[in-house]
Structure 1
Amino acid sequence: MNLPNRLTVLRIVLSFIFMFLLFSEGVLSKVIALCLFIIACITDFYDGYIARKYNLITDLGKLLDPIADKILVLAAFLAFVEMGIIPAWMVVVIIFRELLITGIRVLSANKGKILAASLAGKHKTVSQMVSIFVILGFIVLKESGTTIFSFWNNSFEFWKEIIIGIFMYITVALTLISGISYMIKNKNVFWNAKSD
C-alpha cells in the first residue's frame, strides 16, 4: 500500500476516534476532536496531492478516498443530529446522496471501471468539512463557556443557529447538485446494469 492510500486509511481510523471524543465529557475531548478533524482534512488534501505529484494514483485510491471522506463526514453529521445541533432531515438527504453515489461506484467497479470523484463532488466535500469545522467551533466555545464577542453573551444560541443554518443549507444544496450532476454524468452505469 502506497503513502497516499495509507493517509486515506489513517483518515478512516481518525474518523472513529473523532466520533468517540465528540461524545466524551469535557471541553478537552471536544478540542482534541476538533484537532483530529483538522488533521483528517489535511490528510484528505495530501493523499490526493502526493498521488498526483508522484504518479501514485491507483484504482484502490480512487475507490477508497471518497469512501474515507464519507465516513468522516457522516460520522460528524450523525453525531451532530444526536447532539441536537442540526435537523435529521438534512443528514438523511446527505446519506441518501452518498449511498446512491456509492452504489453507482460499486456497479461501475463490478464492471472493471473505477469512477473517480468529480469536481462538483469535491466542492461538496469541502462545503461539508467547512460546515463541520464551524459546528465544532461552536461546540468548543459552548463547552468552554467562552464567547468571542461581548454581544454574544446573551444571544450565543441565536447566532449559533443562524450561522450553522446558513452553512448547512449551502452544504445540503451542494450535496444535491453534485449528486444530480454525478448521476447525469454516469447515467450509462444505470442503463448497463438494467441490461445485464
Structure 2
Amino acid sequence: MAFSSSPEISNRVWTVPNILSFIRLALVPLFLFFIISAQDALALIVLVVSSVSDYLDGVIARRFNQITRLGQLLDPAADRLFIFAALIGLAVRDVIPWWLFFVIVARDIVLVILGIISANYGFGPLPVHHLGKVATAALFYALPILMLGQAFPDVAWATDPIGWAFALWGAFLYWWAGFIYVAQSVRISRIPRG
C-alpha cells in the first residue's frame, strides 16, 4: 500500500484549526494591551492560551486532515503578530531596547519584500527553513521569560539572563535564516520563466 508523502492541502476556510487561528489573531490586541498596561500576569495567561491553541490547531490539522492554504497563512501570521506585539509592548515600557525591536522587525520586512519578488516570478511563499523555526522558537521563549521577570520581580534575577540569552540568540538566528531566504530568492529569480 502506497502512502502519500505530503498531506493533502485544501481550500476550506471553516475548519477547527482555522477557527483556532482566528481566535489567536483576535487575542493579539488584548495581549498588546496587557503588556503596555504592565498587566504582565494577564499577558502571560493570554500567551499560554494562544500557545495551547497553536499546538492544538497543528495537531487537529494533521490528525483530521484539515490542513488548508488559509491555515498555512494564518498560523505563521499569528506567530509573527504575537512576537511583534510582545516586542512593541516591551520596548514601549523600556524592558527591551528599541534596537532589538527594529532588528527583528527589519528581518520580517525583508521577508515580505522577498515574498513579493517570489510572487512576481510566479512562485509561492518560500518554504520555511528549520533555522527560521528555531529562531522563532527562541523568540517565543525569550519574550515570555522576560515578561515573567516583569510579572514577578523576585525571580527576575534568574529569568532576565535566560530571557536575554534566548532573545539575542533568536535575533541572530532570525537574520541567519533571513540570509538563507535571500539566497533562495536569488536562485528563484534566476530560473528562466517559460
TM-score above 0.5: yes
Is 1:96 the counterpart of 2:109 in the alignment?
no
Whole-angstrom CA distance in 1 between matches of 2:62 and 2:116: 23
Residues 4 and 50 in structure 1, CA contact (< 8 A), matched pair in contact too: yes
Q: Which residue of 2 aligns with 1:126?
A: 137
Q: Which residue of 2 aligns with 1:168?
A: 167
Residues 32 and 85 in structure 2, CA contact (< 8 A), matched pair in contact too: yes
Distance 1:191 1:112, change over 3 A: closer
**Unaligned ranges ≥5, structure 2:** 1-12
Is 1:135 the counterpart of 2:146 in the alignment?
yes
TM-score under structure 1 length normalisation? 0.78
Distance 1:44 1:119, change over 3 A: farther
Whole-angstrom CA distance in 2 between matches of 1:184 and 1:112: 15
Q: Which residue of 2 aligns with 1:17?
A: 30
CA RMSD of aligned residues (A): 2.4
Is 1:80 the counterpart of 2:93 in the alignment?
no
Whole-angstrom CA distance in 2 between matches of 1:17 and 1:90: 22
Distance 1:187 1:54, change over 3 A: farther
SS in 1 for 2:152: helix
Whole-angstrom CA distance in 1 between matches of 2:126 and 2:55: 19
Deviation for aligned residue 1:133:
1.2
Whole-angstrom CA distance in 1 between matches of 2:110 and 2:190: 15
Whole-angstrom CA distance in 2 between matches of 1:138 and 1:33: 13
Counting aligned pairs with the same residue, the percent is: 26
Whole-angstrom CA distance in 1 between matches of 2:113 and 2:141: 25
Whole-angstrom CA distance in 2 between matches of 1:21 and 1:98: 24
TM-score under structure 2 length normalisation? 0.79
Choose the corresponding residue for 1:55, options 65, 74, 98. 65
Residues 81 and 87 in structure 1, CA contact (< 8 A), matched pair in contact too: yes
Listed one character per residue, the Cα deviations across residues 31-67 of structure 1 (whole Å, up to 9, x for unaligned) are 1110101111222222222222222222222222212
Whole-angstrom CA distance in 2 between matches of 1:53 and 1:117: 21
